[in-house]
Amino acid sequence: MVELGARYLDAAIGLLERLRDVELPTIDRAADRIAGALAEGGRLFVFGGGHSALAAQDVVYRAGGLILANPLIAPGNELTVRPITVSSAVEKLAELAGPVLDGAGVREGDALVVISLSGRNGLPVELARRARERGALVIGLTSVEASEAEPARHPSGTRVLDNCDIVLDTAIAVGDAALDVEGVPQRIGPTSGVVCSAVMQTLMVGVIGHLVSRGIEPPVFMSANIDGGNAWNERLLAEHADRIFYLR
């Protein structure tokens, strides 16, 4: 079905073009704020609820990526959990946010990126809210349209976008899927994976650029499949061990 594939790619490309043409200044502003936090000794954490966890993981321990990006882990919030439906239940647990933030030691001066397409579930909302209360910079990656289309699930009635210093809008459609197809009652072709990963990579290269503009050499992973890569990475991991949590 080449025609369906082409339609999906067109939809994804359209969203990526919008990121470049509309959202890029906001992404760059967020990158500058994160770089400022890192320059002052803060730590960087990334969290995604449900499938959004994949976009968070995409910038962690990645060749060409910033070594300082730490995943914020909530038990059960991954697609490897069984039964997989547990992940959907965990994403709604606002009360899990406190222990997760405590376990990572998120504090004033840190930066946290919270990724949630719907922006309505308890855990990402509470993580954003509590991290901000602690004095951390909070960047929210969400779809404003999708978030405002459904009632909030957090007891406060707020969404991720209400608890952030900067909101990055993916503009992804309600329900994520992009295509209407005759004979299929439900829309198909989710676009959040493509778009959220693109935003996160754009954000990270922006952070790296803003660190350079501050006269700071950013620690960046080299591919372990290049000769000398392992030695390079081991040196940087040791140098920045006080701000790296994914090796503990």
pLDDT confidence of 9, banded at 50, 70, 90? Answer: very high
CATH of domain 2-243: 3.40.50.10490
What average pLDDT does the structure give for the chain?
Answer: 96
pLDDT confidence of 248, banded at 50, 70, 90?
confident
Give the mean pLDDT of 216-244.
Answer: 97
Label residue 183 exposed, middle or buried (CB < 10 Å: 0-12, 13-18, 19+).
exposed
Mean pLDDT of 201-224: 99
Q: What band does 247 get if pLDDT is binned at 50, 70 and 90? A: confident
pLDDT for 178 beyond 80 = yes
Tokens of 119: 């922006």
Which of 85, 168, 89, 159 lies closest to 126 in space, CA to CA? Answer: 159
Summarize the confidence of residues 96-118 as an average pLDDT: 97
Non-local (6+) Cβ contacts of 203 within 8 A are: 27, 30, 31, 34, 59, 113, 139, 168
Angle at the Cα of 185 (from 183 to 191), degrees rounded to 5? 105
pLDDT, average across residues 133-143? 99
pLDDT value at residue 79: 85
Share of the chain above pLDDT 70, in %: 100
Express each pLDDT in 38-96 by its tens digit.
Answer: 999 999 999 999 899 999 999 999 999 999 999 999 989 988 889 999 899 999 999 99
The reported pLDDT for the residue numbered 78 is: 86
